[in-house]
Amino acid sequence: MKISHLRAFLFVCTISLLLTACEVEPPPVAPPTTLPTTSVPQASTPTSAPVVNTPSAGKTPTSASATSTSSVPGFPPGVTPLTAPLGWGGQKSFWTVWFTAPTGSRDPASYVGGIDVPFEQMIDSTQTTLDIAAFEFNNEVLTQAILRAKARGVTVRVVTDNENGTQDTKDTSLARFVEAGIPVVDDGRSALMHNKFMIFDSQYVLTGSWNYTVNDTYRNNNNALLLRSQRAVDNYQTEFNEMFQDKKFGPRSPANTPFPVFAQNGIPLQIYFSPEDKVLTPLVTTLSGAQTSILSMNFSFTDYDAAQAILNRASAGISFQGIWETTGSETTSSELRTLYCAGLDARQDGNPFVLHHKVFIVDGTTVIMGSFNISSNATNSNDENLLIINDPDLAALYTLEFQKRWAESKVPTRLTCN
């Protein structure tokens, strides 16, 4: 591994002694039962994250920092807490996860120190190739980092949506990328190229709900997961090449994900791309296998099959808590009404802007995440990605984020049940 990536992957930082800086709460005790897992191939060369390096005493701390695990009560042992002024997360083994921490501010001057900073560092450490699939792009910190990468000889390639990317004439960085000689390919269709991922030096892949925009970094609730796994990289590289090189989007994309099911460092992963991989099937299967609990944080949840899977498990006695982005949640297509009127604990979010997560946490052990909204468009038309990761430690961090969002959520008051 390149030394520069050793630094960037953990976002070289200082140990904080203040618990309040971490802005995390103890996760609930993991349930005794876990989802059954099938036999999956192991990655041929197990990888692990590098050791955290911290500045010497007296050094100025960076904007993203690591905190001693022992200083955060309830944080999963073996997971290094990460903090930023407007973000938090954790790192273990082959993964690093970040969550945005919006304050509700409308003042752009306050939009400093978010999760864009550690990924600026990641881009600045990239040496050979940077492939980007971006639904939209206007974050200036990331824009400048990408332009610097291009200037120092990194091969940068971009795939985007046409309507929200190349045809956006007011609020996008893509024209500047083109001016700098960076090739940009759009999907040229009415459905969405809705992916949000980056591949760094063919070694790391970043994915999640986080669009590379000011709003998604500083106003909206989002998650971003960085993986150091060659099989994960191969999966995303195959998808990127389909779009960038072959110009195949949506239903024209071939079902050729190299490693849809595998294990990295003993952790089972599933990675699927929509629409070609029939993403809804493994999602519903995972929800249907819940033994104790399902937590949900979703921007858009309009698919009845997923809602029915939750209803079935709730009737069997599992607990359910769900948060919907308020905008759109009261429409006839939203499944908030279905679950709320069935007596389940379903709420609307409390962010004055947008809850943008696409997340389920099953049994406190399994995380479902990615760009995939739970909708027919995401299933049948859009270019999307979905990950299912069976790791109690990662699930604990997503549960912490859920607890934060639950604390500010609201019981629906304008829904009527027949």
> Cα angle at 354 between 339 and 295, to 5 degrees?
35
d(CA 130, CA 126): 7
8 Å CB contact between 16 and 71 = yes
E strands, 85-143, where?
Answer: 87-92, 95-100, 129-134
d(CA 184, CA 120): 20
Question: Could you say which of 201, 216, 303, 383 is catalytic?
Answer: 201
d(CA 67, CA 22): 8
Question: Could you say which of 92, 186, 187, 194 is catalytic?
Answer: 194
8 Å CB contact between 178 and 184 = yes
Q: Is 59 a catalytic residue?
A: no
SS3 letters for 309-361? HHHHHHHCCCEEEEEECCCCCCCCCCCHHHHHHCCCEEEECCCCCCECCEEEE
d(CA 126, CA 201): 6
> Cα angle at 275 between 271 and 279, to 5 degrees?
45
d(CA 403, CA 298): 14
* Residue 71 DSSP symbol: G
Instruction: Tally the C-alpha atoms within 13 A of residue 53's C-alpha that lie toward its C-beta.
Output: 12
Question: Could you say which of 92, 196, 356, 357 is catalytic?
Answer: 196
d(CA 306, CA 407): 24
Q: Is 196 a catalytic residue?
A: yes
**Sign, CA torsion 242/243/245/247:** positive
Q: Is 194 a catalytic residue?
A: yes
Quote the tokens at residue 122.
Answer: 């990641």
> Cα angle at 346 between 339 and 35, to 5 degrees?
80
Nearest residue to 49 (alpha-carbon basis) of 2, 94, 88: 94
Quote the tokens at residue 302.
Answer: 């309009």
8 Å CB contact between 208 and 78 = no
DSSP-based three-state secondary structure for 4: helix
* Residue 162 DSSP symbol: I
Cite the active site residues: 194, 196, 201
